[in-house]
Structures are given as C-alpha cells and as structure tokens.
C-alpha cells in the first residue's frame, strides 16, 4: 500500500509539474489606472484565466501615450504580447511603427462612429470633459470661452505623455483652429499644473489642489455608483466634445499569437464588456446584455460630438503642440 501511495503522490506531482510547464504567460502592457485594484485589470485577469489555462500578466506603463513610447523603445524585443490602452488619437502613429499584428480580429462593434481597422480593437470609448465639484464651483462653465475668462483653477495632463492631454490639445485645435493660440493664452492663467498622466491629475483634483480637472463626461458616474456621491459634474460645452476610442492590439513579435487572439476575443465578450463600464468608467465598445447603471444615461455629451480621423491627427498635433508650448511658457 505504501508503494502504491508513494507512486500516486509522485505521479500527481509529475502531472502538476507538467501542467505548470505547459501554462503560458500572456503579458499585456496597459496604462496605470487600468491595472489598479479598483480598475478593470483584476476582474479581467480573473475572468480570462478561468478558461485559458494561462497566466494573464498586466504590466503598468504610465499613461496611454507613454505606453506607445515604451513599445517604440523596446521594438521587436518587447515582452508585451498585447498592448491595451492606446487610443484613436495615437492610432496612426502606432500603425507606422509596424510593431502590431495586422488582420488580427474581425467583429461587429457598437460605436458611435464606423470602425474598419482590423489591427486595433476598440474595448471602450468616451468623451473628454472638464470635471468639477459643483458644491465648490457654483458656476460651471458652459464653453471654453467661459472657462478661459474665469478664475477657475485647472489641472491638465501633458499631451506628450498622456492620451487625455493629447485629447485636449486636439479638441481645442479642432474647435478653434487659428484662434486656438488666443484660447490657450487665456487658459494658461487657469492652469495650476500639468501632470504626466490622468491618475496624478485626478488625484490632485480630489485633494482640492484644483477646482477642475481634464477627464471624461463619465467620470462623475464613478462617484455616483461607487460612492453615492452626487457632487461631481462634467461641464458640457456648447462647442462639442472630442470622442476617445481606446484600443488593444497584438504585438507582431509575440510567440503566443493564438493565446493573444483569444484574449482579444475575450476583451469584447459579454463578460469583459460588462466589467469595463463600472471599473474603467467608460462606455463599452460592445453593449453587454445587462443594462448600464442609470447614471450613464445622464452623462452623454451632446449631439455635436467631435471625432478626428486617425490619419488627420499627426498634422493637427504638430501645429497644436507648438501653440500649446508657446502659450504655457508665458
């Protein structure tokens, strides 16, 4: 009996060891707030690992624009199998690196604009907006002009390292064109600081270091649903709001293409798309079966939404960045 028991135990450990060796690790680079205990990362990881016989590993790499910079530096030697958290405003720049796998997915999505790219997969979307505490800021501005002519203190993100920061840059440039210089010169008096990423900026706002922060129309939904706090409000501007579509892509150099494709398919499954709205506080790219919390219905930007085609971003950014730098130096 002792010999049989020893054999069974040995066999069990051998099988366990072999299974462990067969277990692949899928490395996903993402932005900081995605990979926090309150972000989508932990729930996405748990749900995917339930069926993949793999280890899903999220690696934080700063904000969205910093994410692209990291991949560009690492090149074909990157450890990432998937990059999650680039957005529509850096899409063309990302494509030009040739570091991402084309024709990696085909699916129907529920986006407010047509999507025909088969390299970059949308997983959520939203509108940029300035968010305020309405208990402290009684007269929330209804336009860029009102904001620029006020004494409201703002914290924004750097467009060179942050996708929301780049979004604001493009938003102002798209709305005002040649007059954007004047708007930025006025806004420069309102800006308390410029942070590398969204997390730092929103943290400063919550700590009372500024009256308003560049974020999203859906940011107040977090406070309503998670904290039962109705004090935060997104300013809805008459000029319209720039749309951001966040995407994921498989790296061309990955040796785990099939596992990476499985993750991409999971990312727009009902399970994952049900997780994202109330952890990333954005609209899902594919409507889940369960309805969104009611708070989402009151945060949608007005009909005159602004969307910039990815192939137009580069030229617009070049012009806008020069204007932004000059205005903030003064």
The CATH number for 50's domain is: 3.40.190.10
Query: What pLDDT, on the 0 to 100 scale, is given for residue 301?
Result: 56
- For residues 238 and 318, state if they share a domain: yes
Query: What pLDDT, on the 0 to 100 scale, is given for residue 164?
Result: 93
Query: What pLDDT, on the 0 to 100 scale, is given for residue 329?
Result: 82
pTM to 2 decimal places:
0.89
- For residues 216 and 315, state if they share a domain: yes
- For residues 309 and 268, state if they share a domain: no
Query: What pLDDT, on the 0 to 100 scale, is given for residue 256?
Result: 97
Chain segment 196-231, per-residue pLDDT in tens? 999 999 999 999 999 999 999 999 999 999 999 999
Chain segment 311-324, per-residue pLDDT in tens? 889 889 999 999 99
Chain segment 228-254, per-residue pLDDT in tens? 999 999 999 999 999 999 999 999 999
Residue 19: pLDDT band (50, 70, 90) is very low
> Are residues 275 and 40 in contact, defined by beta-carbon separation less than 8 angstroms?
yes
Query: What pLDDT, on the 0 to 100 scale, is given for residue 305?
Result: 87
Residue 304: pLDDT band (50, 70, 90) is confident
- For residues 78 and 33, state if they share a domain: yes
- For residues 225 and 106, state if they share a domain: no
Query: What pLDDT, on the 0 to 100 scale, is given for residue 242?
Result: 95
- For residues 214 and 75, state if they share a domain: no
- For residues 215 and 200, state if they share a domain: yes
Residue 11: pLDDT band (50, 70, 90) is very low
- For residues 143 and 78, state if they share a domain: no
- For residues 156 and 279, state if they share a domain: no
Mean pLDDT of 134-154: 96
Query: What pLDDT, on the 0 to 100 scale, is given for residue 195?
Result: 96
Give the integer Cα–Cα distance in Å for 313 and 311: 6
- For residues 199 and 262, state if they share a domain: no
The answer, yes or no, to whether residue 172 has pLDDT greater than 70, is: yes
Domain that holds residue 230: 126-243+300-329
More confident of the two residues 48 and 104: 48
- For residues 168 and 305, state if they share a domain: yes
Chain segment 270-282, per-residue pLDDT in tens? 999 999 999 999 9
More confident of the two residues 2 and 297: 297
Mean pLDDT computed over every residue of the chain? 90
In the chain, pLDDT over 90 holds for what percent of residues? 79
- For residues 139 and 210, state if they share a domain: yes
- Please count the structural domains in the chain: 2
The answer, yes or no, to whether residue 183 has pLDDT greater than 60, is: yes
């Amino acid at each position: 009996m002792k010999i049989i028991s020893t054999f069974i135990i040995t066999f069990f450990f051998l099988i366990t060891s072999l299974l462990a060796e067969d277990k692949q690790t899928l490395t996903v680079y993402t932005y900081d707030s995605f990979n926090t205990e309150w972000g989508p990362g932990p729930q996405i990881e748990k749900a995917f690992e339930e069926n993949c016989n793999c280890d899903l590993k999220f690696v934080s790499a700063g904000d969205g624009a910093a994410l692209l910079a990291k991949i560009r530096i690492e090149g074909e030697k990157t450890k990432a199998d998937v990059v999650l958290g680039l957005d529509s405003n850096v899409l063309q720049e990302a494509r030009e690196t040739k570091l991402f796998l084309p024709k990696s997915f085909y699916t129907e999505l529920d986006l407010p604009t047509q999507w025909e790219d088969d390299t970059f997969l949308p997983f959520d979307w939203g509108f940029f907006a300035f968010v305020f505490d309405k208990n402290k800021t009684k007269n929330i501005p209804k336009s860029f002009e009102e904001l620029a002519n006020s004494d409201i203190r703002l914290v924004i993100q750097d467009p060179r390292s942050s996708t929301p920061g780049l979004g604001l840059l493009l938003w102002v440039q798209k709305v005002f064109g040649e007059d954007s210089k004047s708007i930025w010169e006025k806004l420069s008096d309102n800006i308390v600081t410029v942070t590398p990423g969204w997390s730092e900026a929103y943290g400063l706002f919550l700590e009372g270091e500024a009256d308003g922060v560049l974020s999203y129309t859906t940011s107040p939904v977090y406070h309503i649903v998670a904290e039962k706090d109705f004090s935060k409000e997104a300013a809805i501007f008459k000029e319209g709001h720039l749309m951001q579509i966040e995407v994921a892509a498989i790296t061309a150099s990955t040796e785990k293409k099939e596992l990476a494709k499985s993750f991409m398919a999971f990312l727009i499954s009902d399970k994952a798309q049900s997780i994202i709205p109330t952890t990333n506080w954005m609209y899902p790219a594919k409507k889940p079966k369960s309805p969104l919390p009611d708070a989402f219905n009151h945060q949608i930007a007005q009909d005159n939404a602004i969307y910039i085609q990815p192939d137009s971003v580069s030229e617009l950014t070049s012009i806008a960045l020069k204007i932004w730098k000059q205005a903030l130096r003064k």
